């Protein structure tokens, strides 16, 4: 018979609302990176729940595999793909959102009422006897006896997935790589000769010299093509006005 | 408190993940919502393992984690491949079969 101690109940009622709020926030925030961080938080709370439920091994694996490897992979791909219009929350299919929310309320209500009305016919046992030799030892015993066949199949699945990812990520050129001569010709036959000598460098100022400040044109306005379009799209571009020198001090002090 | 509260929590998280899959457009966010659903299912398995007093549920949750890791690797590779050809990570843009 399982009795749940007060500390676990306090932990549950403290962390469960936090994880639900974080999961909801994952739906509602605009930037994908923020979604990834909120999901990492949900996964950490789940790891704490696993450890609280005597699943020590799974709790540690959850932190190592999910919040470590999987979320790192997600963030890596987010950085690779960058920001684009798909981050916006506007509806593209009309009426999708109300339908989705209604369906979710129905589905969630169904699940909750099912759990509320279902009975197992016995009280909760708890894992004290199953974990008597230690959680990892118990899991290993099951994994290499009853579940040894699924374990082998899963290893085949892992190899297949690694190979599949390599095949999908492999990039085959469909056209010949343009030579330097062809690139030069294309530059001079382009729409304007403005970039024939290459695009302008980003701004070089006395107090700031970095790729995120645009260079100035002769009339004092910022040259739009002097910084990367990605920085511009992210809003990481700095204004060059703050680096202007204002009044220039012309008095030279003689050094002795 | 009884351990069934963990089941309620996992039902809620699963539902939230399902809404995310339908509502969001960024393929990576959709994918993260699928991960949330898998995690919610794992919480159910661990809770039932505790309620039934056997470790089988934990072994199944372990297998789910392995399958989820495979799924992430292949899915993200697909997203990168689509992004390379279409310059977009939006699930709405990959609609070539419709036309």
Per-residue CA distances from A83 to A41, A99, A210, A230, B25 (Å)? 22, 28, 21, 8, 13
Mean pLDDT rounded to a whole number for chain B: 89
pLDDT at A172: 77
A252 touches chain B (CB under 8 A): no
Most B CBs within 10 Å, among A17, A168, A171, A229, to test the B interface: A168
Region A103-111: mean pLDDT is 94
d(CA B74, CA B77): 5
Number of domains in chain B: 1
* Residue A175 scores a pLDDT above 90: no
For residue B54, which residues of chain A lie inside 8 Å, CB to CB? Answer: 130
Q: What is the dihedral of CA A168, A174, A179, A180, to 10 degrees?
A: -60
Q: What is the 3-state secondary structure (H, E, C) of A138-184?
A: HHHHHHCCCCHHHHHHHHHHHHHHHHHHHHHHCCCCCCCCCCHHHHH
Q: Is residue B95 part of a domain?
A: no
Q: Is residue B99 part of a domain?
A: no
Q: How confident is the model at residue A39 (pLDDT cuts 50, 70, 90)?
A: very high
| B48 class by beta-carbon count within 10 Å (0-12 exposed, 13-18 middle, 19+ buried) | buried
For residue A54, which residues of chain B lie inside 8 Å, CB to CB? Answer: 50
Tally: H helices and E strands in chain A: 9, 0
Q: Do A86 and B27 touch (CB under 8 A)?
A: yes
Cα torsion B82, A62, A14, B8: sign: positive
pLDDT at A250: 66
pLDDT at A122: 79
Write out pLDDT tens, residues A46-79. Answer: 999 999 998 999 999 999 999 988 999 999 888 8
Region A208-224: mean pLDDT is 81
* Residue A85 scores a pLDDT above 60: no
What CATH number corresponds to the domain at position B14? 1.10.287.3510
- DSSP SS3 for A106: helix
pLDDT at A84: 64
d(CA A40, CA A73): 12
Write out pLDDT tens, residues B7-42. Answer: 999 999 999 999 999 988 888 999 999 999 999 999
* Residue A240 scores a pLDDT above 80: no
Write out pLDDT tens, residues A23-37. Answer: 999 988 888 889 999
B3 touches chain A (CB under 8 A): yes
Write out pLDDT tens, residues B42-97. Answer: 999 999 999 988 999 999 999 999 999 999 999 999 888 888 887 777 877 777 77
* Residue A88 scores a pLDDT above 90: no
Of the two residues A124 and A15, the one the predictor is more confident about is: A15
Q: Is residue B29 part of a domain?
A: yes
Q: Do B9 and A19 touch (CB under 8 A)?
A: yes
A65 in Cβ contact with B65 (< 8 Å): yes
pLDDT at A106: 95
Mean pLDDT rounded to a whole number for chain A: 85
* Domain coverage including residue B56: 4-88
Tally: H helices and E strands in chain B: 3, 0
B91 φ/ψ angles, rounded to the nearest 5 degrees: -70, -20
pLDDT at A246: 67
* Residue B99 scores a pLDDT above 80: no
Closest CA to A129 of A120, A119, A138: A138
Question: Hey, which residues does A209 pair with through a beta bridge?
Answer: A204
Percent of chain A's residues with pLDDT above 90? 39
pLDDT at A169: 83
Q: How confident is the model at residue A218 (pLDDT cuts 50, 70, 90)?
A: confident
> What ipTM does this complex have?
0.93
For residue B56, which residues of chain A lie inside 8 Å, CB to CB? Answer: 142, 146
Q: Do B73 and A73 touch (CB under 8 A)?
A: yes
pLDDT at A245: 66
Q: Is residue B49 part of a domain?
A: yes
Q: Which pTM value belongs to this model?
A: 0.79
DSSP annotation of A68 reads I
- DSSP SS3 for B90: strand
């Amino acid at each position: 018979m399982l009795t749940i101690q007060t500390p676990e109940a306090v932990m549950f009622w403290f962390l469960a609302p936090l994880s639900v709020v974080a999961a909801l926030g994952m739906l509602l925030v605009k930037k994908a990176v923020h979604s990834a961080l909120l999901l990492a938080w949900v996964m950490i709370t789940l790891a704490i729940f696993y450890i609280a439920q005597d699943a020590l091994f799974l709790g540690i694996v959850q932190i190592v595999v999910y919040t470590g490897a999987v979320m790192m992979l997600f963030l890596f791909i987010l950085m690779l793909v960058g920001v684009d219009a798909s981050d916006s929350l506007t509806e593209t299919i009309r009426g999708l959102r109300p339908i989705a929310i209604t369906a979710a309320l129905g589905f969630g209500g169904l699940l909750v009422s099912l759990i509320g009305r279902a009975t197992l016919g016995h009280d909760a046992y708890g894992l004290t006897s199953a974990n008597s030799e230690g959680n990892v030892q118990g899991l290993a015993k099951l994994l290499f006896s009853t579940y040894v066949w699924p374990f082998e199949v899963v290893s085949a699945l892992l190899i297949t997935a690694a190979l599949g990812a390599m095949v999908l990520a492999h990039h085959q050129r469909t056209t010949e790589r343009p030579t330097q001569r062809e690139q030069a010709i294309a530059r001079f036959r382009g729409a304007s000769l403005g970039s024939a000598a290459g695009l302008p460098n980003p701004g070089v100022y006395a107090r700031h010299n970095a790729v995120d400040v645009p260079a100035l044109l002769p009339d004092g306005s910022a040259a739009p093509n002097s910084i990367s379009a990605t920085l511009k799209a992210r809003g990481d571009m700095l204004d060059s006005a703050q680096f202007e020198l204002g009044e220039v001090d012309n008095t030279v002090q003689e050094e002795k | 408190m009884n351990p069934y509260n963990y089941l309620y929590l996992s039902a809620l998280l699963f539902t939230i993940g399902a809404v995310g899959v339908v509502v969001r457009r960024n393929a990576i966010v959709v994918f993260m919502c699928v991960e949330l659903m898998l995690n919610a299912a794992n919480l159910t398995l661990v809770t039932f393992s505790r309620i039934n007093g056997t470790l089988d549920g934990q072994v199944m949750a372990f297998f789910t984690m392995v399958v989820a890791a495979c799924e992430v690797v292949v899915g993200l590779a697909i997203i990168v491949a689509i992004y390379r050809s279409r310059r977009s990570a939006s699930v709405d843009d990959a609609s070539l079969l419709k036309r």
